[in-house]
Structure 1
Amino acid sequence: MKLTLLSLSFFLFSSSLLAQNNWFKLYEDSTSLVNDGKSITAAFTKDIHNIKSTLSFNVNTRLNTTPYLIFYWGENGERTANLPKWDQVIEPQKQFFYEVAGNEADGKKLFGLFFNGFYLPHELGHAVEHYTKGNLKGSYKEEYFANIVAMLWWKKQGRTEELKSCYEMAKKVWAKLPNPIPAGSTMEEYFTKNYEQATQDPYVYGYMQFKQFIMIYEDKSLKDFDSFMINYFQ
């Protein structure tokens, strides 16, 4: 029995590593995307349970391509992380990726790095807040928290090279996006007041998301994932 359990544990660990090795790239196969997403979600969930065993954290990861691209859904009893697949993305959104990344190849790379990559534990970070607070309003602070969770969790997985690639891409894209923030206002003030409106415009929302990523990546004061979450749960 001990050997069987050990073998099972090794298999699950190896499956998680394989899924992570395939991540941060544009997926062409739906089954692989969902299976790898589920493996990453399971690894994240295990980490959360190890930190707070009393939290009944359970999220189903599925393929569900919509104009929201990747998102967490927690209504009507559902707890889902919804993944997008590139060939199902609507054409105007594809053109947005091509434009801000500079060309078609980099547009697809941008999508892979973030939407088949970085943002899955970001959405699971939203799920953590939903489980602990009971509701999500949609706000600048919620996005900042989710981005910290994702950044620290990927660092825990040793994905520094992928995070660096995301960082370089984020800087490139953010530099091209028009600044929507009026004079005399900070980014946090503007997006706190105009969050819902901002989510309807990829240029405006992208300005916030990519800037948050840059800020968090450059923040040397952040603790490791476990320490951050332990402090959060206190």
Structure 2
Amino acid sequence: MNTKTFLLYCCLFTATTLQAQQKWFSVFTDSAKLLKTANPITTQFKKDIKKLQPNIRFNTDNIINTSPYLIYYGLNDHVNLPLWSQVIPPIKQFFTGVGGSPQEGEKIFGLFFNGFYLIHEYGHALQYMVDSAHTQLGYSNEYLANTIAILWWRKNGKQAQLKACYDYAKKIYKQLPNPVPAGEDVATYFTKNYEKAASDPNVYGFMQWGQFITIYEDKSLPNFDTYIKNYLKKL
């Protein structure tokens, strides 16, 4: 590949990634479009990680698989993406309830589950690759994934989308009952009861949206590159 061809490829890839990001953070009705839009975004995330740690073998990819977990990283090295049309009625009702209407509920789903949480799940994939011995389902691992996602989206100019997520997170968080018993540490409770919490959107939402609010408001966090470098140094 000569220099001109390489530069043209880089320009085309960047343009494709930007177009994908512009469509992201909204509900998709077509599985092919969902994948086509997600793939350039996650390719860029993997490229950003490899710039910081060239020896990482990052083979994670995206598949369509709507389940009650909505979006998740599986140990088959896939990130499972959900379609709103395939989400089961009780979970749709949850979104309608916290949103105040079906339209608002659908918008919340798009912002978070066809939006923010894509990179959150790639944060889990990164953690599993570089620190599998300590990758357990729990509060601290979710906090790490949420931090990685917020910082990466900021790096990529998605401040407006993050602000929309933040505003909805605050609205939802106020509505959810605190499931943590009095006197018990929040992180300990969710780590100990993770599987149970994950099966209840009210309980799991309390943890996830609470973390989002805390991380978003944390002015002490560095930029994405510095955060990842520091994280990898500690391993």
Q: TM-score range by the shorter chain?
A: over 0.9
* Cα distance in 2 for residues equivalent to 1:165 and 1:151: 12
- Give the match for residue 188 of structure 2: 189
Q: Is 1:215 aligned to 2:208, yes or no?
A: no
> What secondary structure is seen at the aligned counterpart in 2 of 1:82?
strand
For structure 1, which runs of at least 5 residues remain unmatched after alignment? none
Q: TM-score, normalised by structure 1?
A: 0.97
Kept in 1, the 8 Å contact 2:137–2:191? The answer is no
1:80-229 residue pairs with structure 2 within 5 A? 80-134=78-132, 136-229=135-228
**How much has 1:192 moved relative to structure 2?**
2.1
- Give the match for residue 33 of structure 1: 34
Kept in 1, the 8 Å contact 2:198–2:204? The answer is yes
> What secondary structure is seen at the aligned counterpart in 1 of 2:175?
coil
**How much has 1:187 moved relative to structure 2?**
1.6
* Cα distance in 2 for residues equivalent to 1:62 and 1:195: 24
Deviations 1:17-61 (A, max 9, x none): 000000001111211110111111100000000000011112111
The residue type equivalent to 1:226 in the other structure is: D
> What secondary structure is seen at the aligned counterpart in 2 of 1:56?
coil
> What secondary structure is seen at the aligned counterpart in 2 of 1:48?
helix
- Give the match for residue 63 of structure 1: 64
Kept in 1, the 8 Å contact 2:173–2:209? The answer is yes
Name segments (4+ residues, structure 1) moved above 6 Å. Answer: none
* Cα distance in 2 for residues equivalent to 1:79 and 1:193: 25
> What secondary structure is seen at the aligned counterpart in 1 of 2:222?
coil
Matched-pair identity in %: 48
Q: Is 1:17 aligned to 2:18, yes or no?
A: yes
* Cα distance in 2 for residues equivalent to 1:127 and 1:104: 32
**Alpha-carbon RMSD:** 0.9
1:38-57 residue pairs with structure 2 within 5 A? 38-57=39-58
* Cα distance in 1 for residues equivalent to 2:24 and 2:70: 16
**How much has 1:189 moved relative to structure 2?**
2.3
> What secondary structure is seen at the aligned counterpart in 1 of 2:199?
coil
**How much has 1:92 moved relative to structure 2?**
1.1
* Cα distance in 1 for residues equivalent to 2:59 and 2:216: 28
Aligned residues: 231
> What secondary structure is seen at the aligned counterpart in 2 of 1:158?
coil
The residue type equivalent to 1:84 in the other structure is: P
The residue type equivalent to 2:100 in the other structure is: G
> What secondary structure is seen at the aligned counterpart in 2 of 1:185?
coil
The residue type equivalent to 1:121 in the other structure is: I
> What secondary structure is seen at the aligned counterpart in 2 of 1:62?
strand
